[in-house]
Amino acid sequence: MAIDRRAFVAGTAAMLALPRPLHAADGKAFHSGSAEFISACKRGDGHYALAFVTADGKILREIPLDGRGHDVALSPDGTRGVAFARRPGRFAIAFDLKNETPPVAFDSPEDRHFYGHGVFSRDGRLLYVTENDFDAGRGVLGIYDVGANYRRIGEFDAHGVGPHEVILLEDGVTLAVANGGIDTHPASGREKLNLSTMQPSLVFINSRTGDLVTRQEIDPALHKLSIRHICADARGRVWFGGQWEDAIETAPELVGYTSRDKPIRFVSSAQHMGPALKGYIGSVSATNGGEIVSVSAPRAGRILHFDANRAELMGEVLLKDACGIAEASDKTVAISSGEGILEVAAPGKEPQSRISFNDIAFDNHMRRLRV
């Protein structure tokens, strides 16, 4: 059932002040000042929320959502965040990370829907959100004015179909956009309408003008590899994880990287990994200062860690339905799962901490708030 907007604002103001401690099912607790993370989740009663959790097993805060959430964008100064609806949802919730003001709900235009990701401008004044202009069958980046309660002030062409994750590169100007290449329409739910003609791409866009800087595409023979999630490593290369829209046994390599002036390359491995990863990468995150790129394959229950400099696999861990990844410290990575597990470990090593949150199923993405 949808949440009434006015009731939402009134209800959350009281609720968010109350931490909700949980019991750890196993694993050892972290010290006081444990790392804090945020993730969309589904509660045991079927309702959706944002959960602010710690690595030692506490829920510090919750914000109810109008439906299933996907990812969260955090402002550069660490004071604000925005959670987005999963495709084809239209709602977003902006919130104050210090919990000093009520959350603000806003929607995409009626002829657009969100894809679940967004990113702030370097100065924090604008928010760029991946959206679907579904009647025209094209992707756009909606532009929202943060200081005007997230009023939508325009849009850029995403230079592709099905834009999913967008990130801002280190220069503070260039946006990298993963265009999944899949055409959808709300009238058809989540049905994929153009699998035979998909054209996935990774594009670089000037955030000030909307001009296309570079468009990188994969081999046409791999046109069913939807490029969905991305991150930037310490060298400024953009890494991606793909989702194969064909038979799993025919899945190619799913992880690769590119840049504005270099074509797409796939990582090398001792054995072909596409089928073993069930043709699906759910999240991509740069950790350890961008020296390591970690990717999740939730359908296979595997997290892979790559040495970003050598573009080689350095280790992996197994965790059922694990998808969310975030840096926990300079040397450790946090992983969340759809079964309510939060693990922290050095890449490829045994967990230092493993907490089971009762009554929570974490969704696809997780962000670190602070250590």
CB atoms within 10 A of CB 119: 25
Which amino acid is present at 92? A
Task: Quote the CA–CA distance of 24 and 175 in Å, as a whole number.
Answer: 40
Rounded-to-10 torsion of CA 184, 188, 192, 196: -90
Q: Name all domains of the chain by residue range, CATH numbers in brackets.
A: 122-366 (2.130.10.10)
Q: What percent of the chain has pLDDT over 70?
A: 90
Q: What is the DSSP letter of 262?
A: E
The string of pLDDT tens digits covering residues 282-329 is 999 998 889 999 999 999 999 999 999 999 999 999 999 999 999 998
Task: Quote the CA–CA distance of 334 and 325 in Å, as a whole number.
Answer: 6
What value, to the nearest 5°, has the Cα angle with vertex 193 and ends 191 and 197?
145
Closest CA relative to residue 340, chosen from 33, 26, 116: 26
- Mapping DSSP onto H, E and C, the string for 191-202 reads CCCCHHHCCCEE
Task: Tell me what pLDDT residue 270 has.
Answer: 67
The string of pLDDT tens digits covering residues 159-184 is 999 999 999 999 999 999 999 999 99
Q: pTM, whole model, 2 decimals?
A: 0.91
Q: Which helix (H) or strand (E) holds 216?
A: strand 212-217
Summarize the chain as % helix, strand, coil (round to 5): 10, 50, 40
| Upstream peptide bond of 64 is cis (omega within 30 degrees of 0) | no
